[in-house]
Amino acid sequence: MITLKQGAIKGSIIAFMLAVSACTSTVSIADTISPAELIQKGQEASDRNKYKQSLQYYQAIIDRYPSYVDEVCEAEYTIAFIHYKQKKYELAKTEFNALLSRYEGADVELLPLQFKKLSEIVLAKIAAKEK
């Protein structure tokens, strides 16, 4: 029979709690950070597979800079793509389709075309996986 001292149990619980909090942590984003800096930080977090943090940076672009059309389209695309990488296909499809709906409205010539094309490519990949 294995027995653990009370201190060892507390230490194990604390270590577990720290590990869990590291996985679910939120980032503190300064109010003065620019959209370009948010994109950079979001990409760096994504490159380290810290998708929750990455999503927070991209969502901050959408929330704080709604008139920055190029950056918002990039943020929306990247959020959908992260969900695609996480195999959350239904959520990703919804998000890609929402982004594509932007390209059906007025002022479509002001929108960056690469995110339309990329969204269509990933939606086709999702459709192929569903067959």
pLDDT of residue 24: 53
**What is the mean pLDDT of the segment spanning 97-114?**
94
**What is the mean pLDDT of the segment spanning 119-126?**
98
pLDDT of residue 106: 82
pLDDT band at 20 (very low <50, low <70, confident <90, very high): very low
Cα separation values, 37 from 44, 57, 98, 112, Å: 10, 9, 25, 19
- Cα angle for residues 39, 40, 44 (degrees, 5° grid): 115
pLDDT, one tens digit per residue, over 47-59 is: 999 999 999 999 9
pLDDT of residue 26: 86
Sketch out the chain's domains with CATH numbers. 28-130 (1.25.40.10)
